[in-house]
Amino acid sequence: MAPENIFYGNQNNLALPPEGNDYVIYSYISSVRHGTSAEDWEQDQNDDNVYLSTTTEVLVQVDCYASTLNGSDGMNAMLRAQALETVCRSQVGVQFFVDRGISLLHADDPRDTTIVGDSDNYVRRSTLMIHLSMQSQIKVSMGFFSAVDVDLKNVDVSYPPKEKE
C-alpha cells in the first residue's frame, strides 16, 4: 500500500484517491481507563510537584478498502487487514509500538464490512480493531509552604476591644 493511500479518518475535507478504491483509513474510536491514578511526588527548590499517571487502552479502527471495478473480487481488502492483524500479533508489531512508547495489547480478527460507495457499487472493506495501551502523565504544582514565621501578639493590646455604644 502506497503511503499516500493511508489516511487518518475523521478529518474535514479528506480527499480519497480518485482512481479505484485501494486505500486504508485508520480512526481513533475510544479509550478506556485501566486502574487508579498513580501519584509520584517531587520536591524542587520552589514547589512540590505531583505527577499523576494512568494507563489508558486506546482502540484504533483500521478500514482496508479494495476496488471491485472491472470484475475484481476486492480480496485485497481482506488480505491487507489479515496481514496487519498478523503483524500486530507478532514481536515485530509489538516492537514497532514499543519504540514509540506505546504497548500493543492485541488485534481483533478482521471483519467483512463491505459498503455501497458513492457510485452505487460495492466497495470491499475489511475492518480490524487494534487495542493499544499508553501511559499518560500530568504534572501538577502544589503551592505548599515549608516554613512559618510566627509573631506572638497579645490580642487585647494589638486589637483592643471596642466599647459598646
Three-point CA angle 23, 97, 32, nearest 5°: 90
Task: Measure the CA–CA gap between 43 and 11, rounded to whole angstroms.
Answer: 42
Per-residue model confidence as pLDDT tens digits over 49-71: 889 999 999 999 999 999 777 77
pLDDT at 127 over 90: yes
Query: What is the band of 158 on the pLDDT scale with cuts at 50, 70, 90?
Result: confident
pTM: 0.75
Q: How confident is the model at residue 34 (pLDDT cuts 50, 70, 90)?
A: very high
The pLDDT of residue 123: 85
Greatest mean pLDDT among 16-30, 39-53, 126-140 lies in: 126-140
**Domains assigned to the chain:** 3-158 (3.30.2000)
Backbone angles phi, psi at 147, to 5 degrees: -145, 150
Residue with cell 459598646: 164
> For cell 492483524, what's the residue?
85
What pLDDT shows up at residue 41?
85
Residue type, 46: N
In three-state secondary structure terms, 81 is helix
User: pLDDT digits over 70-93, tens only?
Assistant: 777 888 999 999 999 999 999 999
Instruction: Dig out the grid coordinates for 96 from the structure.
Output: 514497532
pLDDT at 24 over 90: yes
Distance separating alpha carbons of residues 85 and 82, to the nearest angstrom:
5
Evaluate whether 9 touches 23 at the Cβ level (below 8 Å). no
- Per-residue pLDDT, 120: 78
